[in-house]
Amino acid sequence: MSRLTRRGINMDRPTTKEVARFFDKVQITKHCWLWEAQISDKGYGQFKFHGSGIPAHRFSYQLFVGPIEPGKMILHRRECGNRSCVNPNHLYMGTNADNVRDRELWGNPGIGEKHGRAKLSESNVLAVRRIHKDKRCGYAETAESFGVTPALIGSIVRGRLWRHLPLEDPLTFSGLTKMLFPDRKPAGGKQ
């Protein structure tokens, strides 16, 4: 039985299906993985898992990095600073003192901020690719109509973005872990 607690002390891996459900709610941008489903009052993503709401960034940390030690918090790195982000590379495990220090140094992480990144749905992305399938210029025009930057359009067309969200292939945990942490063995497995 797969189990991942709110506190993160007792966990096994969620199933591939559950991981896929998690990724259905994530929009992967060049930097942050933005949570597109429910957001708490404090700005954190909420993922419903086995009947209870888990902060999405904590779920992501446990999924990709490993268990959360008792009494520790999962914090967003300064270069991210976006509470709705669930990119495991933007998260670290720290203490409450770390949290207070971060806040004093940098201020509160953004609540509901988009950091200048427009939201594109998966169907938007497919539309962009369709538009540019047969022509190699005109990023600026497309960018304007979608309200994003030409660079972002370029990244979408060249497949640098949204490649993490395969639409047809089954999403596997080991594949994702390998992609995120190519130099590391998967952590947080069954003991």
| Cβ-proximal residues to 35 (8 Å cutoff; 6+ apart), any chain | 25, 26, 44, 45, 56, 57, 84, 85, 86
The residues pairing with 75 across neighbouring beta strands, listed in sequence order, are 92
- Asked if 87 interacts with Zn ion (CB under 5 A), we say yes
Give, as ranges, the residues between 103 and 122 that touch Zn ion (CB under 5 A). Answer: none
- Asked if 74 interacts with Zn ion (CB under 5 A), we say no
- Asked if 57 interacts with Zn ion (CB under 5 A), we say no
Of the two residues 85 and 148, which places its CB atom closer to Zn ion in the complex? 85
Of the two residues 32 and 153, which places its CB atom closer to Zn ion in the complex? 32
- Asked if 32 interacts with Zn ion (CB under 5 A), we say yes
- Asked if 85 interacts with Zn ion (CB under 5 A), we say yes
- Asked if 90 interacts with Zn ion (CB under 5 A), we say yes
Residue 12 C-alpha from the chain's centroid: 20
Closest CA to 43 of 96, 99, 85, 104: 85
- Asked if 26 interacts with Zn ion (CB under 5 A), we say no
The nearest distance, CB 75 to Zn ion, in angstroms, is 12
The nearest distance, CB 45 to Zn ion, in angstroms, is 11
Q: How many whole angstroms separate alpha carbon 87 and alpha carbon 147?
A: 23
Q: How many residues bind Zn ion (CB under 5 A)?
A: 6
Contact at 8 Å (CB) between 45 and 25? yes
Number of other CB atoms surrounding residue 120 within 10 Å:
21
Binding site for Zn ion (CB under 5 A): 32, 80, 82, 85, 87, 90
